[in-house]
Amino acid sequence: MIAPALALQQAVNARLKAPEFQALCEVAVGVHDRVPKDPSFPYVNIGYIQPIGDLAQGYDGSELNLTLHVWSRAVGKVEGQRIAHAVRLVLTPPPGDPPPFDLEDHELVNWRFEGSLPLDDPDGVTTHVVFTAQFLTRPTA
């Protein structure tokens, strides 16, 4: 069985590379698990996924805390915040909606947007938006 954090990483990567996400951003956005040496801006970096055990209702589930980083060099913070909002729409739909994606060997039980924080990078040019969300899973097998 694949680890839940790896299943989430694969699903998030695929979801952010899908045409639906790219259309919401209004600009071409790179998606990187590991950022290349000279990336094109804007881009989303899949930061880290912190798995926390979640023993609930007789199964060994996982609480997965996801952090993504949005990087933009457009003037101001608008582009970075627009991309972060598109991330929110495709990864954390409102409660009651169907799960935003399938996970290999795991079921997505619940999800929630935690926050996004736009920051000025010390280089004086780049906007960095830190995006966080939580996903609760349980094994399917």
Domain harbouring 116, CATH code: 3.30.2000.30
pLDDT at 96: 85
pLDDT at 134: 96
List the strands of the sheet with 106-120, edge to edge.
Answer: 30-32, 43-56, 59-72, 127-139, 106-120
Query: What's the structural domain count of the chain?
Result: 1
Q: Is residue 70 a part of any domain in this protein?
A: yes
pLDDT at 56: 63
Main-chain dihedrals φ then ψ at residue 56, nearest 5 degrees: -145, 140
Q: Is residue 133 a part of any domain in this protein?
A: yes
pLDDT at 55: 66
Residue 20 three-state SS = helix
CA dist 102 → 14, 69, 84, 94, 128 (Å): 11, 22, 21, 16, 28
Query: What is the extent of the structural domain holding 92?
Result: 4-34+50-139
Helix 78-91 to helix 4-17 angle (10° resolution) is 120
Residues 6+ apart with CB under 8 A from 126: 41, 71, 72, 73, 120
Q: Is residue 118 a part of any domain in this protein?
A: yes
- Enumerate the β-bridge partners of residue 4: none
Q: Is residue 41 a part of any domain in this protein?
A: no
pLDDT at 57: 67
pLDDT at 85: 95
pLDDT at 108: 93
pLDDT at 28: 87
Pair of tokens at residue 12: 């998030």
Instruction: Show the low-confidence residues of the chain (pLDDT under 50).
Output: none
